[in-house]
């Protein structure tokens, strides 16, 4: 019997397929991990924006988590769009009940077009209920500002925000660099309570960046499910998202999805060239 690791995503559906549950499951599959899902909301979405948000009842989220938790124990779990404090409470209760340790919290708040994917009143629940259970919390810069109440305009302020997130109970803070100044390279920051680690990459000039955060955190989760240490998982996730942005698909009139096929295709052609 082949051993395949399993990962669970708890997130919203993106009908356009570039973010949310769809991005997560594609990324898990591309990285050789069996993907499972618990839906929190349905969104009507394409490359032009979010046209509707339809949250599920917390009981429906709980039932999905019980179904997976009781029979298909995941090796790693990630959260994305959670929408409300009641859904966050449900997810926190179930994560505790099933003892999910490799928990990645991607604190999704607002889509690139500006639509809210987390109610304002739910930020507090994210901080008090979920962050203390996280192995890694992966905010972009505006999300890190909302979580910590700090303003982030420099690398030093990013470090202070990362420290604050670890003090809130997350084992690691990974602050993503996608929202830095346009002329700067992309710099992601990982903090484990002791050491700051920077991962820099070339900024790609493209409008096709819909779902970058979801895809990156899903790649991190897949690598954790396969047993990688957090630092190595971050490197694999970075290579995955870099390839996915570089080899653009060019879909849609607006912000198109990233290319979830790209990383595996690159790995295959590199292996053939050896």
What residues contact residue 181 under an 8 Å CB cut-off, 6+ apart?
none
Span of 27-35, 54-62, 205-213, 231-239 interacting with ligand LCLJCK34 by CB under 6 A: 205-213
37 binds, among ligand LCLJCK34, ligand ADP, none (CB under 5 to 8 A by kind): none
The one of ligand LCLJCK34, ligand ADP, none whose footprint includes residue 43, by CB under 5 to 8 A per kind, is: ligand LCLJCK34
* 32 tagged catalytic: no
> Cα separation of 6 and 135, whole Å?
17
**Catalytic site residue from 9, 137, 209, 221:** 209
Told to judge if 214 belongs to the known catalytic residues of this protein, a careful annotator would answer yes
Candidate list 166, 211, 224, 233; residue touching ligand LCLJCK34; CB under 6 A:
211
Q: And the tokens for 157?
A: 């302020």
Q: Which of 16, 32, 12, 19 is nearest to 221 (CA)?
A: 32
210 is an interface residue for ligand LCLJCK34 by CB under 6 A: yes
- Residue 208 or 226: which CB sits closer to ligand LCLJCK34? 208
> What is the spatial distance between Cα 145 and Cα 163, in angstroms, rounded to a whole number?
13
Q: Is 212 a catalytic residue?
A: yes
Is 84 a binding residue for ligand LCLJCK34 by CB under 6 A? The answer is: no
Strands (E), the chain: 6-14, 34-46, 49-55, 76-79, 103-105, 136-137, 172-175, 186-191, 196-201
Of these partners, ligand LCLJCK34, ligand ADP, none, which one is at the site of residue 111 (CB under 5 to 8 Å by kind)?
ligand LCLJCK34
- Catalytic residue status for 209: yes
Q: Least distance (Å) from ligand LCLJCK34 to the CB of residue 27?
A: 11
Q: In sequence order, what are the residues at sequence separation of 6 or more whose Cβ sits closer than 8 angstroms to the Cβ of residue 88?
A: 82, 122, 125, 126, 129, 130
43, 64, 85, 259: which one contacts ligand LCLJCK34 (CB under 6 A)? 43
Closer CB to ligand LCLJCK34, 115 or 192, in the complex: 115
> Among the options 17, 18, 211, 256, which is catalytic?
211
- 259 contacts ligand LCLJCK34 (rule: CB under 6 A): no
CA-to-CA separations, 211 to 4, 36, 65, in angstroms, rounded? 25, 18, 24
Structural tokens at position 5: 């690791």
Determine if 12 is a binding residue for ligand LCLJCK34 (CB under 6 A): yes
Active site residue 254: no
Q: How far apart are CA 224 and CA 221, in angstroms?
A: 5
Query: DSSP state, 149?
Result: -
Query: Three-state DSSP class for 24?
Result: helix
Q: Is residue 212 close enough to count as binding ligand LCLJCK34 by CB under 6 A?
A: yes
Q: How far is the CB of 152 from ligand ADP (least distance, A)?
A: 12
CA–CA distance, 11 with 41 (Å, rounded to integer): 7
Taking residue 259's Cβ as centre, other Cβ atoms within 10 Å add up to 20
Give, in order, the Cα–Cα distances in Å from 248 to each of 100, 244, 245: 34, 7, 6
Active site residues: 176, 209, 211-214
**Chain positions contacting ligand LCLJCK34, by CB under 6 A:** 11-14, 19-20, 43, 45, 80-81, 108, 111-112, 117, 210-214
């Amino acid at each position: 019997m082949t051993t395949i690791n399993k990962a669970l995503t708890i997130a919203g559906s993106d009908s356009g397929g570039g973010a949310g549950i769809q991005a997560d499951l594609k990324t898990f599959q591309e990285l050789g991990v069996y993907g499972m899902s618990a839906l929190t909301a349905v969104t009507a979405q394409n490359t032009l924006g979010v046209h509707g948000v339809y949250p599920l009842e917390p009981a429906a989220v709980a039932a999905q988590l019980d179904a997976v938790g009781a029979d298909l124990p995941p090796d790693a779990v990630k959260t994305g769009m959670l929408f409300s404090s009641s859904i966050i409470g449900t997810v926190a209760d179930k994560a505790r009940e099933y003892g999910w340790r490799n928990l990645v919290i991607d604190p999704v708040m607002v889509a690139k077009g500006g639509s809210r994917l987390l109610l304002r009143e739910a930020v507090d629940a994210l901080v008090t209920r979920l962050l203390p259970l996280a192995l890694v919390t992966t905010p972009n810069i505006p999300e890190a500002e909302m979580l910590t109440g700090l303003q982030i305009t420099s690398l030093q302020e990013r470090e202070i925000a990362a420290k604050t997130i670890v003090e809130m109970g997350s084992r690691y803070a990974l602050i993503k660099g996608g929202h830095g100044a346009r002329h700067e390279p992309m710099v992601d920051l990982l903090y484990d309570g002791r050491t700051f680690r920077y991962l820099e990459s070339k900024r790609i000039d493209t409008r096709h960046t819909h779902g970058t955060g979801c895809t990156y955190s899903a790649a991190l989760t897949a690598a954790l499910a396969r047993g990688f240490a957090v630092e190595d998982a971050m490197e694999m996730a970075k290579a995955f998202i870099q390839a996915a942005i570089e080899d653009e698909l060019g879909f849609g009139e607006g912000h198109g999805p990233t290319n979830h096929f790209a990383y595996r295709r690159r790995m295959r052609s590199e292996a053939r060239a050896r």
